[in-house]
Amino acid sequence: MVKIFAINCGSSTLKFKLFEMPEAKMIASGMVDRLGLNGSVFKIQNEKGEVKEIKKNISNHKSAVQLLMKELINFKILKNLNELGAVGHRVVAGGENYKKSTLIDKHVINNIKYLSIYAPLHNYSEARGMEAFAEANSNLPQVAVFDTSLYSKMPEVNYLYSIPMKYYRIYGARKYGAHGTSHRYIIHRVAKILNKKLEDLNIISLHLGSGASITATMHGKVIDTSMGFTPVAGITMSTRSGDIDPSLILFLMTQLKITDPDDMANILNTKSGLLGISELSPDMRDLEKAQQNNHQAKLAIDIFINRIVKYIGYYVAEMGSVDVITFSAGIGENDIDLRQQIISKLSFINAEIDPKKNNIKAEERDITGSKSKVKILLIPTNEELMIAKDAYNIGYLGQE
C-alpha cells in the first residue's frame, strides 16, 4: 500500500485528498483557504471524520505544502513522509500539448505556465503548487492531470470554430472544453454500473455545479462538449454567461465604455449566469426558495434548464441516439426537483425519471423510470480519485 495525493491549487486555495492505493481508499482531505491573505485557515480531516484546524497566515504555496506535510505526521495520518508514493495535480489547460496525464518535470511546469494564456486564473497557481511539492521532496514523482485532455481527440468538425484556419494553426484557437477529469470518471462509472463496454454506449453526462458542462460520448469516444475555448462557454452557469453572440460583447463594451477586455471578461465570468439574470444570487438553492414570489429567480432557473435541454437535444441528434444520461456535481447530485424538471422535458427521446428513486441526494443510484428508453443515473463525481489513479499509475508504477 502507498499513499497518493490529489491536489487542486488555486490562487488563494490548496485543496487536497490523500488516497491509499491501489485500494482507492481516501484517508485524509482538507484545504488551505485564504492562501497569501490575512486570516489563512488550514483544515485537515482524517478517515474517522476528525478535524484539525489551524488559523495562521500562510504566505504562499510553498508554506502551505510545508504545513501540510508537517500536519500529516502530527495528525498521525502518516508515520513518515516515505509512505508517500506520488502527487497528482489537477491542471485546467493542457492546450494541444498534452493529450493525456503526464509526469511532471521542469519542462512540463514551464509549459503549464505558458499555457496559462488559455487559463490565466488557474495554470500559474497549479504550476506554483508543483514547484512547492518539488521543493518539499524532489524525489516524489508528480503527475499533471489535464481537464482538457479528454477533449483533445474530438472530431475537427466539433472543436474548430468557423474563423480563419490560420488562427487555429498559429494561436491554437479551438474548443478545449473543461471538467474533463469529472466526465472521464463518470463515463467509466456508467460502463461499470451497467456492466457494459464503454464502446457499446452513447452517453450524455451532465456536470452541473457552479461551473457546468455537458459532454457527449459516442461508442467510447468523446465527440463534443459544451464548454469552449474557455469555461465561460456552453450552458448558463452560476456566474458565467454561457454561449453569447460575440457582437453583443462588442456592443456592450461600446455602450459601457469598456476599453479593457479583462473588464468585459470579468462581467461574463463573475456577474452573469444565474446571478446576472436573477439579480439575487448565484446559488440555485437561493433561487428555488425565492422563485414563487420572484419572477427573475424563476426565470434564471428556467433559462438554466432550457439551455441544458437544448444541448441534450443537440447531442442526441449528433449521436443518433442516447443510452444513458447522468447527473453529477453539486447541483446535479443534490437538486432532486431540478433533475425531475430536466428529464420531464425529454419525452421526445422517451426519457423518464422515477420520482421515488430520484428522491435522494449525492448517492450513486439508477433513477430511471419504468417506461424510460434511456437510463438515467445519478453518479457523484470523483475527480480526485481519477487524479490519484493517474498519479499512482504514471508516477508511482511508471506506467503510461
Question: In this structure, which topology does domain 180-383 adopt according to CATH?
Answer: Nucleotidyltransferase; domain 5 (3.30.420)
What pLDDT is attached to residue 10? 87
Cα gap 71→212, rounded to integer Å: 34
Q: Tell me the CA distances in angstroms from 393 to 5, 108, 376, 384, 399, one per residue in order.
A: 13, 18, 31, 14, 5
Task: Give, in degrees to the nearest 5, the angle at Cα 286 between 353 and 205.
Answer: 35
Tell me which amino acid residue 313 is: G
Instruction: Say whether 41 sits in a helix, a strand or coil.
Output: strand
Tell me which amino acid residue 184 is: R
Question: Which residues in the chain show pLDDT less than 50?
Answer: none
Copy the grid coordinates of residue 383: 475527480
Q: Count Cα atoms within 13 angstroms, Cβ side, for 166.
A: 0
Cα gap 353→187, rounded to integer Å: 19
Task: Classify residue 72 by burial, with Cβ atoms within 10 Å: 0-12, 13-18, 19+.
Answer: buried
Do 242 and 307 contact (CB within 8 A), yes or no?
A: yes
Query: In 3D, which of 294, 324, 95 has the Cα closest to residue 196?
Result: 324
Active-site annotation holder among 147, 335, 354, 390: 147
What is this structure's pTM?
Answer: 0.92
Do 40 and 32 contact (CB within 8 A), yes or no?
A: yes
Do 12 and 129 contact (CB within 8 A), yes or no?
A: no
- Per cent of the chain over pLDDT 90 is 89
Cα gap 190→149, rounded to integer Å: 20
pLDDT tens profile 143-156: 999 999 999 999 99
CATH topology identical between 2-146 and 180-383: yes
Q: For the domain covering 2-146, report its CATH number.
A: 3.30.420.40
Instruction: Say whether 365 sits in a helix, a strand or coil.
Output: strand
What pLDDT is attached to residue 117? 85
Query: In 3D, which of 159, 90, 143 has the Cα closest to residue 119?
Result: 90
Helix axis angle for 246-255 and 261-270, nearest 10°, is 110
Cα gap 104→131, rounded to integer Å: 10
Domain locations in the chain?
2-146, 180-383
Quick one: the chain helix, strand, coil %, rounded to 5? Answer: 40, 20, 35
pLDDT tens profile 226-284: 999 998 999 999 999 999 999 999 999 999 999 999 999 999 999 999 999 999 999 99
Cα-flanking dihedrals φ and ψ of residue 117, to 5°? -60, -25
Q: Say whether 147 is catalytic.
A: yes
